[in-house]
């Protein structure tokens, strides 16, 4: 798919799904900016991409920090001359039952998962509008349909879907598309770290395909939305969840 010589920023790309997205985009010829809050992770992924003969730059900073985001976008434009693709992947989870969820846990998740998408998208859109081209791909989650102990996470990811639709409407006249991908349970440290082993066993029984997804399986969906072939696709939400979005399961709490 056509992303050759496009410039892509991938947030939260220091590990997991974000790392897989960055490497897949690079393997198809995109020049990639690796964003994460951990410098060592940024540098590792960027260096691994460079070792494959592709161009990559590390950019450390939080996605809800407007000054850090603005600086990252300026550095990207200064080095590569443009910003074609933004993948809003950075996210955190702080699972807790509704009656035990604190204001701090609510605010922390909404700040990264929803405000971060807004700040990065708004900033990148300024560059994309000027060049009359852009692809914004937001990582939501199957959890936006609702899930036990995930009031803050589900609300943040539902907000991402709604924000994506609004971005698509407002930016279409500038040839900028905005789409969302909703992963199900994926084989990452974050995915496994949110649930103890006994809950993971029960969750696997509720998976129609009976397994966790792999980061690379999510990355292929992002590659499509980021490509030139997806010119006429905007405002859409694609579930990559092994069928989990098709039905609800009994209370696992």
Please list the active-site residues. Answer: 153
Burial 5-27 (b: 16+ CB within 10 A, else e): ebbbbbbbbbbbbbbbbbbbbbb
Residue 77, phi then psi, degrees to nearest 5: -65, -40
Q: Is the dihedral of CA 203, 205, 207, 211 positive or negative?
A: positive
Cβ–Cβ under 8 Å, residues 216 and 187: no
Instruction: Supply 169's token pair.
Output: 């409407």
Give the closest residue to 184 by CA, choosing from 240, 225, 138, 145: 240
Cβ–Cβ under 8 Å, residues 26 and 52: yes
Three-class DSSP labels, 76-105: HHHHHCCCCEEEECCCCCCCECHHHCCHHH
């Amino acid at each position: 798919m056509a992303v050759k010589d496009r410039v892509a920023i991938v947030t939260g790309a220091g590990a997991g799904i974000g790392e897989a997205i960055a490497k897949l985009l690079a393997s198809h010829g995109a020049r990639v900016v690796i964003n994460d809050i951990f410098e060592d992770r940024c540098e590792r992924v960027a260096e691994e991409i460079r070792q494959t003969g592709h161009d990559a730059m590390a950019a450390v900073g939080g996605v809800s920090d407007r000054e850090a985001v603005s600086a990252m976008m300026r550095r990207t434009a200064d080095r590569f001359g443009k910003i074609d693709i933004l993948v809003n992947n950075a996210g955190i989870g702080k699972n807790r039952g509704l009656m035990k969820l604190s204001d701090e846990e609510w605010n922390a998740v909404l700040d990264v998962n929803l405000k971060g998408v807004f700040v990065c998208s708004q900033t990148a859109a300024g560059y994309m509008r000027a060049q009359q081209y852009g692809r914004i791909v937001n990582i939501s989650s199957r959890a936006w349909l609702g899930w036990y102990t995930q009031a803050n996470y589900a609300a943040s990811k539902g907000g991402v879907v709604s924000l994506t639709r609004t971005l698509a409407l407002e930016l279409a006249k500038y040839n900028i598309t905005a789409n969302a991908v909703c992963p199900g349970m994926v084989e990452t440290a974050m995915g496994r770290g949110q649930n103890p082993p006994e809950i993971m066993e029960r969750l696997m029984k509720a998976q129609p395909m009976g397994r966790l997804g792999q980061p690379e399986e999510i990355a292929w969906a992002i590659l499509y939305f980021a490509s030139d072939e997806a010119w006429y696709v905007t405002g859409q939400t694609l579930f990559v969840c092994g069928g989990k979005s098709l039905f609800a399961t009994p209370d696992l709490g």
